[in-house]
């Protein structure tokens, strides 16, 4: 009896393995895309200082404190807390100070050689240039890096969910293909054995 002549062929098992490999590749790809997208959403500034950023769309923005960071050729590694740092945001075109409030999400991130956490949030009424004025209440403090971004949390969560769906979906499809192939091949092999026994018995 030659199992290679049984349908479905054993190459279906190889197909199942290939699907899993594709699933892992898609998982890694979506994670990488999510990280790259998150980095592109963040604009960095050094504090204490006054800096201007162009915000391309209205909505709620988060201000992150980057405990470990890299900016303009310089590495920063500062403490977990930044006591006394005051941050104000002003819409430059009309000179109106915006209300800042504690970030609702305690979201932390690590991107390459950067790590940060959300500390404040504000709502930009429109696209435009905004001034970020930072200072220490006691007049002095360490130089730190802040990052400003919008939709980063949602973007990363979406990428993670899509990545997991691709991974587990590929595994599920591979399991189904392998199981169906095994059952059908087992049934076909049994039928082939019966036919061979009948042929031998007829002689």
**99 neighbors 122 (Cβ within 8 angstroms):** yes
With the CA atoms of 92, 94, 99 and 102 taken in that order, what torsion angle do they form, in degrees rounded to the nearest 10? -20
Q: In this structure, what CATH number is given to the domain that contains residue 111? A: 2.60.120
Q: Is the residue at 105 inside a domain? A: yes
**24 neighbors 108 (Cβ within 8 angstroms):** no
Interval 129-177: pLDDT, tens: 999 999 998 878 889 999 998 876 666 677 778 888 888 999 999 999 9
d(CA 53, CA 58): 13
Q: Is the residue at 184 inside a domain? A: no
Q: Is the residue at 185 inside a domain? A: no
Q: Is the residue at 132 inside a domain? A: yes
Report field, pTM of the whole predicted structure over 0.75:
no
Q: Is the residue at 8 inside a domain? A: no
Q: State how many domains the chain has.
A: 1
Domain ranges, residue 78: 42-151
Q: Is the residue at 6 inside a domain? A: no
| pLDDT for 202 beyond 60 | no
Residue 98 belongs to what H/E stretch? strand 96-98
Q: Is the residue at 84 inside a domain? A: yes
**38 neighbors 152 (Cβ within 8 angstroms):** yes
Task: Give me the residues paired with residue 64 across strands.
Answer: 118, 147
């Amino acid at each position: 009896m030659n199992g290679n002549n049984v349908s479905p062929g054993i190459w279906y098992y190889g197909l199942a393995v290939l699907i899993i490999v594709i699933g892992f590749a898609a998982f890694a790809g979506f994670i990488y895309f999510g990280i790259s997208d998150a980095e592109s959403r963040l604009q960095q500034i050094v504090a204490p200082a006054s800096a201007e950023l162009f915000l391309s769309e209205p909505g709620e923005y988060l201000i992150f404190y980057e405990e470990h960071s890299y900016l303009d050729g310089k590495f920063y590694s500062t403490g977990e807390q930044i006591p006394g740092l005051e941050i104000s945001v002003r819409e430059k075109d009309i000179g109106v100070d915006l209300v800042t409030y504690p970030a609702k999400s305690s979201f932390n991130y690590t991107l390459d050689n950067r790590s940060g956490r959300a500390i404040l949030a504000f709502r930009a009424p429109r696209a435009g240039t905004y001034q970020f004025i930072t200072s220490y209440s006691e007049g002095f403090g360490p130089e730190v890096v802040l990052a400003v971004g919008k939709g980063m949390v949602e973007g990363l969560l979406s990428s993670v969910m899509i990545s997991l769906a691709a991974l587990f979906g590929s595994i599920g499809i591979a399991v189904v293909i392998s199981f169906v192939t095994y059952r059908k091949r087992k049934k076909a092999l049994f039928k082939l054995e019966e036919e061979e026994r009948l042929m031998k018995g007829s002689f």
